[in-house]
């Protein structure tokens, strides 16, 4: 039995990767030095895995931005607007696709299955694919030459790559398979010639809802690949869920099948035990949670391994994480500031690989060989479970009364709309922003001084008020209609609230990659969640005191806080979401009582948590809608509830979005080039809506005419009196000059649109 890994965090223990990317983008790091820095990080990652005793180490999982973008550029799939003329794309083209340029909009970005990682969406269209560079081969050679590691190259599977791409019709799918198959075959042949033993082909699309015809296409792909390089052993790796077509998947002509035994709901284990496993294949047993941060119950997992060993010989099993460790922080060793009971219960990437190695040892030599580690694991989990943080009486009492908690607004949509118009008398096509303004180095530095005790609370509060006052003035000068206070006191939209609610903990270096160089430090929900004191009232009320224009109170919603946190594993996610919702309701009511009449409860992550199995989706949507409404339904009719969502495919969940019963919803649409507007062509939406008119993830400033076209397209299917004008998302990551220029153009485009559509209104 061998220990195996599927992927390692790219960012480094201290986010060296992020810092290198941003230094290169800003011109502070030359290209040659940039390559050298990333190589050093890459080799350190491999060396750590080797030192931890991992037998099968993945290579090629490291990226300069995103692994799907890597796959697209490896095959020359570069949109024409970037001026690509063939060959290996240079770094400028690579990053232009990810971030956009002044001349060309970036490729769309969306979530990686149901995780908080976002990938760059390939655009196939009329591209003529070619193998521009064999990335897996380059990674294999480097690991072997530099460190003596016989690595296992990783490549995104052909079917997964196509299903995550856009720019082709369903009828063209087979044609694209035929175009890419020779290139995948060439990659494998070159690896075979090099002497590579195993290649890991990631096909997570196989755990989603597919049909028989699709499985036939998958079989055709692997029949072909098996013949292309018969001397290479292929590990077909799935993760995030169970495979529905178990018999068909394990019958594919590959040498190993990787299955997730953590997030499969027990279905993969049941299939192996009831249907058996091919004697000529290796089972990649995903037994350590690659997405959570908790120590594993090693005793229970050893029992699962024993059950698998009844059907699969021990020497045909790879013990491994359930998925790539990209989704967890690098190491818990530095988290000495956490309360010991919690700290001892955590396992990040480094600790998870230790668990993988321990399990392989225990399965091989018996549990007594790792008895001390088994006892330590069990004791740490039990101590946390018995702690006061998981036994808060008031929270438990409130949850027992959940059925009687109000979750419906008093007035209907029209009654509320009339009350809002009477209160504010907003113009046609009201303009606003999503919440945050640029977090400058000065702001971040000031926050650090305050956290370190170098600044007093009074000093920091004065500084934040100065920022708020400046930006209230700028919003008035720009001519916006509904203001925000700017969120200068907030480091992260989830972390900020978690720091002020009971039941959350925060790490010093628990960073994970969200997209590109954007790293987040998710809170850890380890105990019962409870409201302790108002969190946003002071700054919002101060901002409102500076202007007669309405200022929105800004909160992060319960489902987003849930989905963007590491969540305790002893309760269902639904129950934790309700705890968060009830705590946030107290904050909503505090804002309203302080005179704030517009309250935005952002839920950008609802779509991210949608189950990968279609039949499980409605149940999830039902409880997420209920959580949002538990949070927002006790306000008066004249209080306007906003929400915001981004990078989501709304076509199949528009009913649930409407069921949130928010008065105004803003949705990303510019980066998807207006495609989301199609959702409203077949659905009559009766509430206020803002379809973002420019992409805040790109440094380019949109032109007035460009924004005008976005507005025109939206108003083909939406009534002018329900349409709001806003950016895609918050402006936290943008620079001052970009922000002002973009908002000025947005307001100018809105003024032109008001003249154009005033009669129709």
Distance CA 712, CA 37 (A): 46
What residues contact 202, with CB distance under 8 A and at least 6 apart? Answer: 6, 154, 155, 156, 157, 160, 237, 239
Angle, nearest 10°, between helix axes 457-478 and 537-545?
50
- Strand 688-691 vs strand 723-724: parallel, antiparallel, or unpaired? parallel
Extract the tokens encoding 155.
Answer: 């490549």
3-state secondary structure of 319: strand
Query: 455 a known binding residue?
Result: no
Q: Which residues pair with 602 in a beta bridge?
A: 556
- Chain-centroid distance of CA 540 in Å reads 28
Query: 16 a known binding residue?
Result: yes
Q: Where are the alpha helices (DSSP H) in 52-172?
A: 67-74, 91-99, 135-147, 158-163
Pair 235, 281: CB distance under 8 Å:
no
Distance CA 574, CA 568 (A): 12
Closest CA to 461 of 565, 539, 545, 518: 539
Angle, alpha carbons 143-146-148 (nearest 5°):
65
Query: 18 a known binding residue?
Result: yes
Distance CA 59, CA 142 (A): 9
Q: Which residues pair with 294 in a beta bridge?
A: 346
Pair 335, 351: CB distance under 8 Å:
no
Residues in the chain: 761
Distance CA 439, CA 204 (A): 36
Distance CA 580, CA 578 (A): 5
Pair 563, 493: CB distance under 8 Å:
no
Distance CA 651, CA 666 (A): 15
Query: 211 a known binding residue?
Result: no
Q: How many CB atoms lie within 10 A of CB 247?
A: 11
Query: 28 a known binding residue?
Result: no
Query: 166 a known binding residue?
Result: no
Query: 608 a known binding residue?
Result: yes
Query: 602 a known binding residue?
Result: yes
Query: 729 a known binding residue?
Result: yes
3-state secondary structure of 256: strand
Secondary structure, 3-state, 322-384: CCCHHHCCCCCCCCCCCCHHHHCCECCHHHHHHHHHHHHHHHHHCHHHHHHHHHHHHHHHHHH
Distance CA 592, CA 302 (A): 53
Query: 88 a known binding residue?
Result: no
Cβ contacts of 338-344, under 8 Å, gap ≥ 24: 338/505, 338/507, 339/505, 341/383, 341/384, 341/387, 342/384, 342/505, 342/524, 342/526, 344/295, 344/380, 344/383, 344/384
Query: 420 a known binding residue?
Result: no
Angle, alpha carbons 704-710-714 (nearest 5°):
140
Distance CA 3, CA 11 (A): 23
Selecting among 263, 327, 485, 697, the annotated active-site residue is 697
327 is catalytic: no
Query: 668 a known binding residue?
Result: yes
Q: What's the N-to-C CA distance of the chain in angstroms?
A: 70
- Chain-centroid distance of CA 637 in Å reads 34
Quote the DSSP letter at residue 535: S
Query: 631 a known binding residue?
Result: no
Query: 44 a known binding residue?
Result: no
Pair 604, 560: CB distance under 8 Å:
yes
What residues contact 547, with CB distance under 8 A and at least 6 apart? Answer: 472, 475, 476, 483
Query: 636 a known binding residue?
Result: no
Closest CA to 692 of 715, 673, 668: 668
Distance CA 441, CA 734 (A): 12
Residues annotated in the binding site for 5-methyltetrahydropteroyltri-L-glutamate, as ranges?
15-18, 111, 116, 518-519, 564, 608
Q: Which residues are annotated as a binding site for L-methionine?
A: 434-436, 487, 602
* Residues annotated catalytic, as ranges: 697
Binding-site annotation: residue ranges for Zn(2+): 644, 646, 668, 729
- Give binding residues as ranges: 15-18, 111, 116, 434-436, 487, 518-519, 564, 602, 608, 644, 646, 668, 729
Binding positions for L-homocysteine:
434-436, 487, 602
């Amino acid at each position: 039995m061998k220990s195996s890994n599927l992927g390692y965090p790219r960012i480094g223990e201290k986010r060296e990767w992020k810092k290198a990317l941003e230094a290169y983008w800003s011109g502070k790091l030359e290209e040659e030095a940039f390559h050298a820095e990333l190589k050093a990080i890459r080799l350190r990652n491999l060396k750590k895995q080797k030192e931890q005793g991992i037998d099968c180490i993945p290579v090629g999982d490291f990226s300069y931005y995103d692994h799907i973008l890597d796959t697209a550029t490896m095959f020359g799939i570069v949109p024409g607007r970037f001026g690509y003329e063939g060959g290996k794309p240079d770094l400028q083209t690579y990053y232009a696709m990810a971030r956009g340029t002044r001349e060309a909009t970036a490729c769309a970005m969306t979530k990686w299955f149901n995780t908080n990682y976002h990938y760059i969406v390939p655009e196939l269209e009329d591209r003529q694919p070619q193998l521009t560079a064999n990335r897996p081969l380059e990674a294999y050679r480097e690991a072997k030459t530099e460190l003596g590691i016989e690595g296992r190259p990783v490549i995104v599977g052909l079917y997964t790559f196509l299903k995550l791409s856009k720019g082709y019709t369903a009828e063209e799918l087979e044609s694209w398979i035929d175009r890419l198959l020779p290139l995948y075959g060439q990659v494998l042949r070159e690896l075979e010639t090099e002497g590579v033993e195993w290649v890991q082909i990631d096909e997570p699309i196989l755990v989603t809802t597919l049909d028989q015809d699709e499985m036939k296409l998958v079989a055709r792909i692997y029949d072909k690949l098996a013949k292309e390089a018969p001397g290479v052993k292929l590990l077909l790796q799935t993760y995030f869920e169970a495979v529905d077509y178990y018999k068909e998947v394990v019958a594919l002509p590959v040498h190993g099948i990787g299955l997730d035994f953590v997030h499969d709901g027990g279905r993969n284990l049941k299939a192996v035990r009831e249907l058996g496993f091919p004697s000529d294949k290796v089972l990649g047993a995903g037994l350590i949670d690659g997405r959570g941060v908790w120590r594993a119950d090693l005793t229970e997992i050893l029992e699962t391994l024993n059950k698998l060993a009844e059907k699969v010989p021990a020497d045909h099993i790879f013990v491994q994480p359930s998925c790539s460790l990209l989704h967890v922080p690098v190491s818990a060793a530095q988290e000495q500031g956490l309360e010991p009971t919690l700290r001892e219960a955590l396992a990040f990437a480094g600790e998870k690989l230790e668990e993988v190695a321990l399990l392989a040892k225990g399965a091989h030599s018996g549990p007594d060989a790792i008895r001390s580690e088994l006892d330590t694991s069990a004791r740490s989990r039990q101590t946390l479970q018995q702690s006061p943080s998981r036994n808060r009486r008031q929270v438990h009492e409130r949850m027992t009364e959940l059925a009687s908690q109000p979750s419906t607004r008093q007035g209907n949509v029209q009654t509320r709309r009339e009350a809002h118009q009477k209160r504010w008398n907003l113009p046609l096509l009201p303009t606003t922003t999503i919440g945050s303004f640029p977090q400058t180095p000065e702001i971040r530095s000031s926050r650090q001084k305050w956290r370190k005790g170098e600044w007093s609370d009074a000093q920091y509060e004065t500084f934040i008020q100065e920022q708020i006052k400046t930006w209230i003035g700028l919003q008035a000068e720009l001519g916006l209609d509904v203001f925000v206070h700017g969120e200068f006191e907030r480091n992260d939209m989830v972390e900020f609230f978690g720091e002020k609610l009971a039941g959350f903990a925060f790490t010093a270096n628990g960073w994970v990659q969200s997209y590109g160089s954007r790293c987040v430090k998710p809170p850890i929900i380890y105990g019962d969640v409870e409201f302790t004191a108002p969190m946003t009232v002071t700054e919002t009320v101060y901002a409102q005191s500076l202007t007669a224009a309405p200022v929105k109170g800004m909160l992060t919603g319960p489902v987003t806080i849930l989905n963007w946190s590491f969540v305790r594993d002893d309760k269902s996610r639904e129950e934790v979401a309700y705890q968060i919702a009830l705590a946030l309701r107290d904050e909503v009511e505090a804002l309203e009582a302080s005179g704030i009449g517009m309250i935005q409860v952002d839920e950008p992550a609802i779509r991210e948590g949608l189950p990968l199995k279609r039949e499980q989706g409605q149940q999830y949507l039902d409880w997420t809608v209920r959580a949002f409404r538990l949070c927002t339904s006790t306000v008066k009719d004249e209080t306007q509830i906003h929400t915001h969502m981004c990078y989501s495919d709304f076509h199949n969940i528009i009913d649930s979005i409407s069921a949130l019963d928010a008065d105004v919803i803003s949705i990303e649409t510019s980066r998807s080039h207006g495609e989301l507007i199609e959702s409203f062509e077949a659905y009559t939406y009766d509430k206020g809506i803002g379809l973002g008119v420019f992409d805040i993830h790109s440094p380019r400033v949109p032109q007035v005419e460009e924004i005008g076209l976005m507005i025109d397209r939206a108003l083909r299917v939406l009534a002018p009196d329900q349409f709001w004008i806003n950016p895609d998302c918050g402006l936290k990551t943008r620079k001052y000059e970009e922000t002002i220029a973009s908002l000025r153009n947005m307001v100018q485009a809105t003024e032109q649109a008001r003249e154009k559509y005033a009669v129709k209104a």
